[in-house]
């Protein structure tokens, strides 16, 4: 009898082992045909001004005469109706990325990315009839330096992370319109500039002055520009200063204007904007809502946020409370590679700050599974655990009853 009972207990122990190990394995096999539940948190947004980077790199472009310009074999013939076209360049080099000097022919630089690792992105010297449009520039000293030139037009360019964004020296009859300048040392500077127009530009979040008009500059027009939160707490003139003569300011938007009355421009010129508008930003940066990411250890995987704001400035990313990276907020899409994270649960947080000081944040909970549990959803892992626990309980109950 004892022998029979002993045999029965051995059989029950074998059954227990089988249920503990085989049952979760069966769940793994069943789940092998279930697609992964990985998700990337996203939200739709409008576009922050930015030109996407190209994959190829181009050498610097240096032109020192009309004949050299003609020898480049560019589209166009240099006339007013058929200007030379320089486009699609992606130059990342020391200063300058592009230099054009002593050229009177008509030319257009467009749809290009210029990143000056030292010095200046674009240098124009003694040129006339040049246009620069739809370019992105990141420099260290100047983004656009224009000296001794006339008839230059700058339109729809995006400039950030530079020293002086746009600098005109001893130039006249130039037009600066619809450019976006931020996160730089200074916005637009007129030094001995005459009869130039500065219209519809957005200049914000720069550490220095938004627009600086020097003492030798005269008869310039500055209209309908957006100037906000420049030189915060550093210089009293912040958004603008005018030390020139007979310059016209009208219809601009100012972050430091309080109605009623004109807006007083800092500087010895005693200039005023007689039709000012107050610039107000009450809208928090927009980014996606809380979500989760499920991945396997070692996966090549990135979290992608889609973001938007009228005045984007900075971003910071931290993992489990420790800051990992930070920089200028330049795109609607911000990505962070999490493939290095070890097995476990991690909180990856994105913090966005705009120029007016408003912040928003979003935390993604990242679950990193071991390779053994690859391609299994969280629900199946939990289910396997629950079934195993109930199985053990049932076997123990059966053994107890038999005894």
Residue with tokens 């195993």: 388
Asked whether residue 51 is assigned to any structural domain, the reply reads: no
Structure tokens at 288: 């996606």
Q: Which of 247, 278, 309 is the last residue of a domain?
A: 278
Inform me whether the pLDDT recorded for 352 exceeds 80: yes
Q: How far is CA 212 from the centre of its chain?
A: 26
Q: What angle do CA 204, 43, 161 make, to 5 degrees?
A: 25
Same domain, 176 and 319: no
Same domain, 26 and 65: no
Domain assignment present for residue 49? The answer is no
Give the separation between CA 253 and CA 87, rounded to whole angstroms: 32
| 96 cis-preceded (ω within 30 degrees of 0) | yes
Instruction: Tell which wins on pLDDT, 107 or 4.
Output: 107
Regarding whether 216 and 78 lie in a shared domain, the answer is: yes
For residues 80 and 204, membership in a common domain is answered with yes
The more confidently predicted of residues 31 and 318 is: 318
Rounded to an integer, the average pLDDT of 42-48 is 32
User: In this predicted structure, what is the pLDDT of residue 331?
Assistant: 85
What is the pLDDT, as a whole number, of residue 4? 44
Domain of residue 226 covers 61-278
Q: What's the total number of domains in the chain?
A: 3
Boundary residue ending a domain (236, 255, 278): 278
């Amino acid at each position: 009898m004892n022998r029979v009972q002993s045999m029965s207990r051995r059989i029950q122990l074998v059954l227990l082992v089988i249920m503990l190990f085989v049952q979760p394995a069966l769940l793994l096999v069943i789940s092998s045909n279930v697609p992964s539940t990985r998700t990337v948190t996203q939200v739709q947004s409008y576009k922050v001004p930015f030109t996407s980077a190209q994959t190829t790199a181009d050498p610097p472009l240096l032109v020192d005469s009309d004949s050299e310009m003609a020898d480049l074999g560019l589209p166009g013939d240099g006339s007013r109706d058929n200007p030379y076209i320089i486009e699609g360049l992606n130059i990342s080099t020391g200063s300058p990325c592009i230099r054009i000097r002593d050229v009177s022919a008509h030319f257009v630089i467009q749809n290009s990315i210029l990143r000056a690792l030292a010095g200046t992105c674009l240098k124009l010297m003694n040129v006339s009839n040049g246009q620069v449009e739809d370019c992105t520039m990141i420099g260290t000293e100047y983004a656009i330096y224009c000296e001794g030139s006339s008839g230059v037009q700058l339109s729809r360019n995006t400039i950030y992370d530079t020293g002086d964004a746009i600098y005109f020296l001893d130039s006249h009859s130039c037009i600066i319109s619809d450019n976006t300048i931020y996160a730089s040392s200074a916005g637009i500077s007129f030094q001995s500039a005459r009869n130039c127009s500065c219209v519809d530009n957005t200049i914000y979040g720069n550490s220095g002055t938004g627009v600086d008009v020097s003492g030798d500059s005269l008869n310039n027009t500055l209209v309908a520009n957006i100037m906000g939160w420049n030189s915060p707490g550093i210089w009293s003139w912040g958004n603008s200063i005018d030390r020139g003569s007979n310059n016209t300011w009208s219809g601009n938007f100012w972050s430091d204007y309080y109605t009623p009355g004109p807006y007083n421009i800092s500087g010895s010129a005693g200039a005023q904007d007689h039709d000012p508008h107050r610039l107000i930003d009450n809208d928090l940066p927009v980014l996606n809502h809380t979500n989760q990411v499920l991945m396997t250890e070692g996966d090549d995987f990135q979290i992608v946020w889609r973001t938007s704001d009228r005045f984007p400035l900075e971003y910071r990313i931290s993992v489990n409370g420790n800051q990992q990276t930070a920089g200028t907020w330049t795109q609607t899409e911000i990505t962070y590679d999490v493939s290095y994270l070890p097995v476990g649960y991690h909180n990856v947080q994105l913090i966005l700050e705009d120029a007016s000081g408003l912040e928003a944040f979003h935390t993604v909970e990242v679950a990193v599974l071991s390779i053994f549990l690859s391609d299994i959803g969280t629900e199946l892992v939990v289910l396997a655990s629950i079934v195993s626990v109930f199985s053990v309980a049932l076997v123990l109950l059966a053994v107890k009853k038999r005894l």
